[in-house]
Structure formats: structure tokens, C-alpha cells
């Protein structure tokens, strides 16, 4: 009899241990479940709740509220299964402060001006306008040299009519110098005179008919020493290249003066010299040592010494090619 009572007591204790206790649980879908939690039926998906005699309901862990999950997690057997479904911080996060946006300061719209007025209204624009006007006058001066026009005339017109004035003179043809031939006055009466002819109506004197009467005239049969009259040395005529008629650049010097680039001069032009007249003066040279796109280096001899002089193409006004002994 005592053994039977002991077995009944043990069975009752097991049943009591298998039941966590009766309770009411509010699910997330709004329904309510009342009953006893059966810890032995707990799985990763959920647990069974005994809602009555012989009635059981399977409830998933995600259906329980956070408060019920925390209460069920106190059971050691259920803690490891419920812990992944408990949120770390169930308290509402602190409200972020409201950021008030402020419009940044904006620059006002500039006052409408004309192009010239806008350039004169600022210091940078005034400097740019002054540079453009100076470039206009410089271009006018170069055009006057290129077209062989009067520099004061071209610069004056360009000062009054900027940009338009240089374009007008640049469109004009180059003014070539005209050679003046002195006209000989015809003889009176309209008759042409022949050198050595005796005027009509005049008879030569008797003494002029005898060639032996002249002083210093020797007899045709007399002996005389042969001698030649000294002749003045003949030189190659000089050639002049004027700015306006020719464009002075690298190609011009390479085509017109090829013999001046070699160290050893050819026999035909070894005695020729080049006279370059520029805004800085005149330079006499016999060799072009170097040439670039905008200038050349002329070898100039001064006594026994020589030096190189750099001459920009823009400064050259005239080039004369002549013999070194010609004046």
C-alpha cells in the first residue's frame, strides 16, 4: 500500500513539473490564449498550450508579445529557444531633434548694363578693355608697315575706329613706291640733236680738220708703249627688300639667302654682306648662325671680334644685299 502511494505521489510531481502554470497570453494578432504552457512540447517553432481537458493549441514564438516572451524566458528549459525572438531594446528610441533648415544668403542680381558699360563698371573689365585698345593701336602700326602706309594716318583712324580701322587698311593693297623719271626738255624748234653732230650752217675751222694739231696727239706711225686704262672694279648690284613688299619670316630668309647659313661661303657670294635695318639700328653680317620661327641670330663682325645679335622679324624694316666693298 505504501508503495502505491509513493508511485502516485511521484506521478503527480512529474505532472506538476511538466506544466509551467496556467496563464493568459495576448497574441500579436489580437487574440487571447488562456491555458497551461507545456515546456516538454517546446520546439524552435513554438510551443503547445493546454486550453482545456484534452484540448491543445500550437502557438508560435513570433505570436507572443515581448512581455510574454520575457516572462517565459525565465524558465531555463525555454530560455535558449525564446532568446532569438526577444528584441534587444524594446524601448522606443529617443526622438531625433528637428532640424530647421535656413536659406543661405544669396547675392543679388547685377544691374543690367551694355557690354561697354559692364566692362567699365569693374576694374578687371577696364583693364581688359585697355589691353584690347592698346592691341588695336599696335596692330594698326604693324599694318601700316606691312601695307607701306603712313603710320600716323593708320594709327589715328584706328584710334577713332577701333578694330574697324585696322581691318580697313589691312584690306587695302600694298602701296608700292613709284620711281620718278626726270623728263628732258626737248630742244628748241623740236629738232632732235645727235651727239657729235655739227649744227647745220656752221663750218668747222681749218685747224680742227687736222687731227695732228691737237695737243697730245701722236703720229700714227710713231712708236708708243701699250698700257691699259685702270678700270673701276665692278660689283654685283645691291638688292633691297622693303617691308610691306616682302614678308620677313623664316621661309623668306631660307629661300632668299641660302648661302648665309653655311659656315663656309660659296665662291659666288662669299663677298656679299647683309645689311639689316631694324628699329634698333643697322646690322652688317655675313652669316646667319641660327634662325627660329620669330627671330634670327646674325653674326656681326666688329674689328677682329665677332658676336651674335638676335633680331626679331617684327623689328626688321629693310634688308639690303650688297658687296662688302660697295658703298
Domain boundaries, the chain: 12-85, 117-171, 239-323
Band of the pLDDT at 13, cuts 50, 70, 90?
Answer: very low
CA-to-CA distance for 282 and 294, rounded, in angstroms? 19
Band of the pLDDT at 195, cuts 50, 70, 90?
Answer: very low
Lowest-confidence pick of 71-85, 275-289, 291-305: 71-85
CA-to-CA distance for 78 and 85, rounded, in angstroms? 12
Q: In this model, does residue 179 exceed pLDDT 60? A: no
CATH 2.30.30 fits 239-323, yes or no: yes
295 close to 253: Cβ distance less than 8 angstroms: no
| pLDDT tens digit sequence for 131-158 | 999 999 999 999 999 888 899 999 999 9
Band of the pLDDT at 2, cuts 50, 70, 90?
Answer: low
CA-to-CA distance for 153 and 164, rounded, in angstroms? 14
The domains spanning 12-85 and 239-323 adopt the same CATH topology: yes
pLDDT at res. 198? 46
CATH of domain 12-85: 2.30.30
CA-to-CA distance for 79 and 70, rounded, in angstroms? 9
Whole-model pTM: value is: 0.32
- The string of DSSP codes covering 83-141 is GGGS-S--SPPPPPPPP---PPP-PPPPPP--HHHHHHHSHHHHHHHHHHHHHHHHHHH
Amino acid at each position: 500500500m505504501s508503495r502505491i502511494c509513493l508511485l502516485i505521489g511521484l506521478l503527480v510531481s512529474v505532472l506538476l513539473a511538466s506544466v509551467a502554470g496556467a496563464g493568459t497570453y495576448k497574441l500579436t494578432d489580437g487574440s487571447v490564449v488562456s491555458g497551461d504552457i507545456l515546456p516538454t512540447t517546446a520546439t524552435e517553432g513554438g510551443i503547445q498550450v493546454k486550453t482545456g481537458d484534452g484540448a491543445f493549441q500550437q502557438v508560435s514564438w513570433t505570436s507572443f508579445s515581448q512581455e510574454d516572451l520575457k516572462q517565459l524566458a525565465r524558465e531555463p528549459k525555454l530560455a535558449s529557444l525564446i532568446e532569438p525572438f526577444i528584441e534587444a531594446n524594446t524601448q522606443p528610441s529617443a526622438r531625433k531633434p528637428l532640424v530647421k533648415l535656413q536659406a543661405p544668403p544669396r547675392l543679388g542680381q547685377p544691374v543690367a548694363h551694355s557690354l561697354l558699360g559692364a566692362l567699365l563698371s569693374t576694374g578687371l573689365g577696364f583693364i581688359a578693355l585697355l589691353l584690347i585698345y592698346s592691341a588695336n593701336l599696335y596692330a594698326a602700326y604693324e599694318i601700316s608697315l606691312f601695307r607701306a602706309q603712313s603710320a600716323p594716318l593708320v594709327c589715328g583712324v584706328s584710334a577713332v575706329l577701333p578694330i574697324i580701322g585696322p581691318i580697313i587698311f589691312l584690306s587695302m593693297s600694298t602701296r608700292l613706291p613709284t620711281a620718278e623719271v626726270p623728263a628732258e626738255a626737248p630742244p628748241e624748234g623740236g629738232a632732235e640733236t645727235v651727239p657729235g653732230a655739227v649744227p647745220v650752217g656752221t663750218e668747222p675751222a681749218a685747224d680742227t680738220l687736222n687731227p695732228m694739231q691737237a695737243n697730245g696727239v701722236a703720229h700714227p706711225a710713231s712708236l708708243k708703249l701699250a698700257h691699259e686704262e685702270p678700270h673701276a672694279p665692278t660689283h654685283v648690284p645691291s638688292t633691297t627688300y622693303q617691308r610691306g613688299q616682302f614678308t620677313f619670316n623664316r621661309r623668306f630668309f631660307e629661300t632668299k639667302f641660302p648661302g648665309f647659313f653655311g659656315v663656309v661661303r660659296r665662291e659666288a657670294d662669299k663677298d656679299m654682306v647683309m645689311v639689316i635695318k631694324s628699329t634698333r639700328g643697322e646690322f652688317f653680317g655675313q652669316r646667319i648662325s641660327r634662325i627660329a620661327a620669330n627671330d634670327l641670330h646674325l653674326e656681326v663682325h666688329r674689328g677682329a671680334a665677332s658676336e651674335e645679335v638676335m633680331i626679331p622679324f617684327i623689328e626688321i624694316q629693310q634688308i639690303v644685299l650688297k658687296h662688302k666693298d660697295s658703298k
